[in-house]
A and B are shown apart, each in its own frame.
Chain A
Amino acid sequence: MSATVTAPATPAPTSALNASRTTATAARVLRQLRHDPRTIALMLLVPCLMLILLRYVFDGSPRTFDSIGASLLGIFPLITMFLVTSIATLRERTSGTLERLLAMPLGKGDVIAGYALAFGTLAIIQSTLATGLALWFLGLDVTGSPWLLLLVALLDALLGTALGLFVSAFAASEFQAVQFMPAVLFPQLLLCGLFTPRDNMHPVLEAISNVLPMSYAVDGMNEVLKHTDMTANFLRDTLIVAGCALLVLTLGAATLRRRTA
């Protein structure tokens, strides 16, 4: 053991967002996942298996499969990314690594953007697999472009990442974090129009569903399902989902505290 003197590096300043630090964080998150191949396999394969299952559940009514399948292509990335992010950030908070990082010249924005970038990449792979499988092997009949499906799926994944990051601040343990999934996502799942069109619901519920982001994720998918072009509704839906993701990410950044009691 010896202490050799190296040329002191000029301390790089802390800024809200630094490209190198953000990509370093994203690379680190992905590297952690690479040591956990089972999680990757589950994230990528489970949505595909669910779609296959669904296809044969609705064997007699391909119309229903079209509508539910398209909706689920938007919902899967949201749920997976929500779960993965909430657990990953909770671990970061409880293991002391977050405290260490925030005592270093790392911006909060770097942490958030790093996570969003890493899980966004994973979401693209997951959505590509699921969308490809649904369109070309399960006969999902979509009028619009598959790229638009992918775009909505990616935005949904970002929304899931944002929500997961945010609720992890309110969970003291992994048990609690997992319970936030039904608490935050199930109501949205029931009200998003997956089971019955939203305008068939009780007016109160319809009003609630109008302010839940998942409703717009599903609406956006259905727009692609029915129209060849990018409709005004589609644009509105994607903008709302993206806006929600951004808003919740900002809220998530506010829950990262440099000073804690």
Chain B
Amino acid sequence: MMNNAADPPDASGNTPPRTAETSAIHAEGLTVVRGPRTVLRALDFTVPRGQITGLLGPSGCGKSTLMRAIVGTQAKVTGTLDVLGRPAGHPTLRARIGYVTQAPSVYDDLTIRQNLDYFAAILDPGRSSTERRHDNVTRAIADVDLTSHADSLAGNLSGGQRSRVSLAVALLGTPELLVLDEPTVGLDPVLRRDLWNLFHDIAADRGATLLISSHVMDEAERCHRLLLMREGEILADDTPDALRTRTGADTVEAAFLHLVDEATANSRKKETTR
């Protein structure tokens, strides 16, 4: 069921090269250096359009750096990285990507609505779109279930509420690609379920692509595809079902642990033969 959503409806109708058509993100030999450390080592992967791809791995494995590279805020990126058919960081991509950083990035001294009003004015400026902006803001606040708090100062909200305001900013407009860095961290189970339902609605109804990082493995089951990362490398790039079948594990978590052990054993072997 989940694997059938590979081909989202395409507005243009014509068929450009296959990679640009079916993939939202395509990386070849993607490497990122931060200071003395190589954070991402020659990654090759493809993220399909119109699906939810989970980016999983222990903290510090390079998930956030990879996301920053995709949205174009990371310096020292080498290799090929195409996003929505353009090189990552291309100016025309800025209006087409919604990005939520791990730490909520909103103005604490503005209310929720004032925060969203401002970001909406950046995305869709001009007096002629006032009404559309207002609708978008109201909808985004409703999407993250904060309508009753719309006039509270962001600084007075709880941690989970603030991160939802940050998420609402990314839902403004109609981004084709949503890059969400641990959007459900610190949220209660009910909210987490609701947000995941929202993510699926966004992928299904708008045909948007979602790349969602998490270090909570049970969320992996909710993704169409998974990228498992460890120490700046990609361990696996597959559907949750295929991962479980391949490793003979019951859960994605067990599959991940299996792959980590395998990778550790391999690297030890390399070291001893050297």
Contacts and interface: CB of A to CB of B under 8 A. Distances in A.
Contact of A104 (B35, B75, B119, B127): B119
Interface in B189-227: 194-195, 197-198, 201-202, 205-206
A35 B198 contact: no
B126 interface: yes
Given A21-B122, A24-B125, A6 B71 contact: no
B96 A11 contact: yes
A39 to B, nearest CB: 10
A104 B194 CA distance: 27
A102 to B, nearest CB: 7
B6 interface: no
B76 A6 contact: no
Interface residues of A, number: 40
A100 to B, nearest CB: 5
A4 B75 contact: no
A9 interface: yes
Contact of B122 (A13, A36, A101, A260): A101
B105 A100 contact: yes
Interface in A30-77: 31-32, 35-36
Nearest to B65: A261
A259 interface: yes
A36 B119 CA distance: 21
Given A20-B121, A32-B107, A100-B105, A261 B75 contact: yes
A232 interface: no
Interface in A90-120: 95-97, 99-106
A1 B104 CA distance: 20
The secondary structure that dominates the B interface is: mixed
B47 interface: no
Contacts, number: 138
Given A97-B107, A100-B99, A100-B169, A6 B136 contact: yes
A87 B173 CA distance: 31
A13 B127 CA distance: 16
A96 B96 contact: no
Nearest to B115: A28
Contact of B205 (A3, A27, A97): A3
Interface string B38-81: 00000000000000000000000000000000011111110000
A67 B75 CA distance: 51
The 10 closest A-B pairs by CB, nearest first: A96-B105, A11-B95, A20-B125, A3-B201, A24-B121, A259-B75, A28-B118, A105-B94, A8-B174, A100-B105
24 contacts: A1-B143, A2-B142, A3-B202, A6-B135, A9-B124, A12-B123, A13-B91, A20-B121, A24-B118, A24-B125, A28-B107, A31-B110, A32-B107, A32-B109, A95-B105, A95-B107, A96-B103, A96-B104, A96-B105, A99-B73, A105-B95, A106-B122, A261-B35, A261-B75
